[in-house]
Amino acid sequence: MFGSGFFRARLVRRMISTVAALLAFLGGVLVLVGSIGAGALVGLFGILLGLGALLGAWWIYRGGRALLFPRARLSFAGFLTTAAGVILFILGSGLDALLVIAGGVLSWVATVL
């Protein structure tokens, strides 16, 4: 009777964090693919930020499933992913960066639950 609210919030947090991780993963992969054909310096920086987005996606996924301190994990992963996405957007990655930013923001939304 008392545990139903806990499990419902946990289920919703898991679903939102899974969608956030998929968005960040897709954006990170697209950034990596796009950075291969870019110049030396911008390509290398894009590859590093793409790997940061993939790492953030992994942390979002693991943080959404955690029993111990899921909010702290999702907050940190969301911050890292959003920061990488904003830098990618400034560099001109476009839709790829917006997907990474959306994943980070959804991670923060999952933190509220």
Cβ neighbours of residue 48 closer than 8 Å, sequence gap 6 or more: none
Taking only Cα atoms into account, the Rg of the chain, rounded to an integer number of angstroms, comes to 15
- Mean pLDDT for the stretch of residues 87-99: 91
pLDDT in tens, 1-53: 555 666 777 888 889 999 999 999 999 999 999 888 777 777 788 889 999 99
Q: Classify 3 as helix, strand or coil.
A: coil
Instruction: State the pLDDT at residue 52.
Output: 92
In angstroms, what CA-CA distances link 36 with 16, 17, 64, 94? Answer: 31, 29, 31, 16
* pTM beyond 0.85, yes or no: yes
pLDDT in tens, 13-23: 889 999 999 99
Residue with tokens 């919030």: 9
